């Protein structure tokens, strides 16, 4: 018989191994002697099951042999098939996120969680919960997502302070805070994510690129365009060093949005076109459609609606073979803007109406819906239909009053001011214009 291992103080890891051994031995109806083929005493096995002794390498091999599992079962609580199913579910969840089918992603992550829960594997359950929180974030359920992520942050700070998992959690918390309008806290969380990545013992530049891109976007929203530009350039340089074409495309994309905010339209267009070409090389149809929507928006803001319209139309053509309702709605709204600027109010109303119809019932995209209402309001005003315009403005303001949407709400107030001027109510119009300006000033501050 082998000698019993050295007695040790209990640790959660040893106790967990013992629980898993006892549970599976009972399921297999084996005695404490049979579980090692008689090579270890039942007293030794009992000590392992009680969490008083760490099993030797040889003992673990014997447990695995006689219980017909792979050795990692005692570490994870899941056999090889179970681990593969867990990883497949996590991968499926991420794939659904890419497709923007967030309810289906939640379902995948919940199934993965159940595997970890059954195995009492907290590492698995945490990973699944972080995935689910990210899907909830994109459904507009930021507070629920933040609760999950805060728990995960505490777990990873305790278990793996220098780990990639902690940086990922901090990145996602920062993104959720951005949507909620707490831009200062969002930046602080992303800065903490960068510090965590600096301590990470394994390469993590792919996460660093995403953090930098998010910081660029948030600083642009805060009005700190210089900080935004620095972050965007850092993200682009790092993506190029990684030789990751997708990361380079996304970095160019973010740089285009930032330059557009700085009203550097020529540079914004250049960056957007570079991103588009890379996405075309990657055969990323959905990505190309989304980028064409942004490129069209840039042309609209340049006052070139005749150049913007073909971008929106090309994007819609691409989506004929792809189920991406969110981007389709965005393209239709942009096309409505372009056609309104070209004087085609009838088709502008038609496009804006289609955009709104697509978004009906999607409470997680209130900004997009609110902006579509504003397009219709402006179209109705051009037709002299002020009553209908007022209804659209009111609907937009209700939606755009949500946290984090001050810039879009300021647009709604400008449209309201224009309507009040046509109704010969100058003092009320002046108040709306003033409030719009105040909202933009608050963003800069």
395 CB-near residues (< 8 Å, 6+ apart): 370, 373
pLDDT of residue 68: 77
343 CB-near residues (< 8 Å, 6+ apart): none
Mean pLDDT in order along the chain per 10 residues (445 residues): 42 68 83 84 83 81 78 68 85 88 93 87 90 90 93 88 86 90 90 93 88 89 83 90 87 83 84 88 87 89 93 93 86 96 96 93 79 96 96 95 83 96 95 92 66
pLDDT of residue 5: 41
Dist. CA 229–CA 290, nearest whole Å? 22
Whole-angstrom Cα Rg for the chain: 28
pLDDT of residue 43: 86
Q: How far apart are the first and last CA of the chain?
A: 75
Alpha helix stretches (DSSP H) within 345-425: 345-359, 366-382, 386-400, 406-422
Contact indicator for 323, 358 with CB cutoff of 8 Å: no
3-state secondary structure (DSSP) of residue 53: strand
The residue with tokens 């928006």 is 297
pLDDT of residue 407: 83
Compute CA 233 distance to the chain's CA centroid, rounded to the nearest angstrom.
Answer: 21
3-state secondary structure (DSSP) of residue 274: helix
pLDDT of residue 7: 43
User: Tokens for 398?
Assistant: 């209700």
pLDDT of residue 4: 39
Contacts within 8 Å (CB) and 24+ apart, 83-89: 85/115, 86/112, 86/115, 86/116, 86/124, 89/115, 89/128
pLDDT of residue 132: 96
Question: What's the residue count for the chain?
Answer: 445
3-state secondary structure string, 89-158?
HHHHHHHHHHCCCHHHHHHHHHHHHHHHHHCCCHHHHHHHHHHHHHHHHHCCCHHHHHHHHHHHHHHHHH
pLDDT of residue 156: 92
pLDDT of residue 3: 38
Q: What is the DSSP letter of 14?
A: H
Contact indicator for 228, 217 with CB cutoff of 8 Å: yes
Give the largest CA-CA distance in the chain: 99
User: Which domains are assigned to the chain?
Assistant: 12-77 (1.10.260.40), 364-445 (1.25.40.10)
pTM, entire model:
0.65
Dist. CA 308–CA 311, nearest whole Å? 5
Dist. CA 131–CA 149, nearest whole Å? 10
């Amino acid at each position: 018989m082998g000698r019993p291992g050295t007695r040790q103080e209990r640790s959660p890891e040893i106790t967990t191994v013992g629980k898993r051994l006892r549970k599976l031995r009972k399921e297999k109806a084996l005695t404490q002697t049979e579980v090692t083929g008689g090579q270890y005493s039942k007293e030794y096995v009992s000590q392992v099951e009680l969490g008083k002794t760490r099993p030797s390498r040889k003992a673990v091999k014997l447990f695995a042999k006689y219980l017909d599992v792979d050795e990692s079962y005692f570490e994870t609580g899941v056999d090889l098939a179970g681990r593969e199913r867990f990883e497949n579910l996590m991968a499926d969840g991420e794939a659904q996120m890419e497709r923007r089918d967030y309810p289906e992603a939640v379902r995948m992550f919940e199934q993965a969680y159940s595997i970890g829960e059954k195995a009492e594997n907290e590492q698995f359950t945490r990973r699944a919960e972080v995935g689910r929180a990210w899907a909830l974030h994109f459904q507009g359920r930021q507070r629920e997502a933040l609760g999950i992520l805060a728990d995960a942050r505490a777990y990873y700070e305790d278990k793996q302070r220098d780990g990639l998992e902690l940086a990922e959690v901090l990145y996602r918390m920062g993104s959720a805070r951005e949507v909620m309008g707490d831009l200062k806290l969002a930046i602080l969380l992303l800065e903490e994510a960068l510090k965590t990545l600096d301590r990470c013992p394994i390469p993590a530049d792919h996460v660093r690129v995403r953090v930098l891109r998010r910081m660029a976007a948030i600083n642009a929203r805060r009005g700190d365009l210089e900080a935004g530009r620095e972050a965007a350039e850092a993200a682009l340089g790092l993506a190029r060093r990684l030789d990751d074409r997708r990361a380079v495309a996304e970095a160019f994309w973010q740089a285009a949005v930032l330059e557009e905010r700085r009203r550097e339209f020529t540079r914004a267009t250049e960056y957007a076109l570079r991103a588009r070409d890379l996405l075309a090389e990657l055969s990323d149809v959905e990505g190309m459609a989304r980028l064409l929507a942004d490129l069209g928006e840039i042309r609209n803001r340049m006052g070139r609606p005749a150049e913007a319209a073909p971008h929106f139309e090309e994007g819609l053509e691409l989506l004929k073979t792809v189920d991406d309702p969110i981007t389709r709605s965005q393209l239709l709204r942009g096309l409505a803007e372009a056609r309104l600027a070209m004087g085609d109010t009838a088709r502008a109303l038609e496009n804006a109406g289609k955009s709104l119809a697509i978004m009906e019932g999607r409470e997680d995209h209130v900004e997009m819906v609110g902006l579509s209402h504003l397009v219709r309001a402006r179209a109705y005003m051009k037709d002299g239909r002020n009553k209908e315009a007022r209804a659209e403005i009111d609907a937009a303001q209700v939606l755009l009053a949500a946290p984090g949407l001050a810039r879009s709400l300021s647009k709604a107030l400008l449209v309201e001011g224009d309507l009040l001027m046509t109704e010969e109510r100058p003092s009320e119009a002046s108040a709306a214009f003033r409030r719009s300006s105040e909202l933009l000033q608050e963003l800069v501050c």
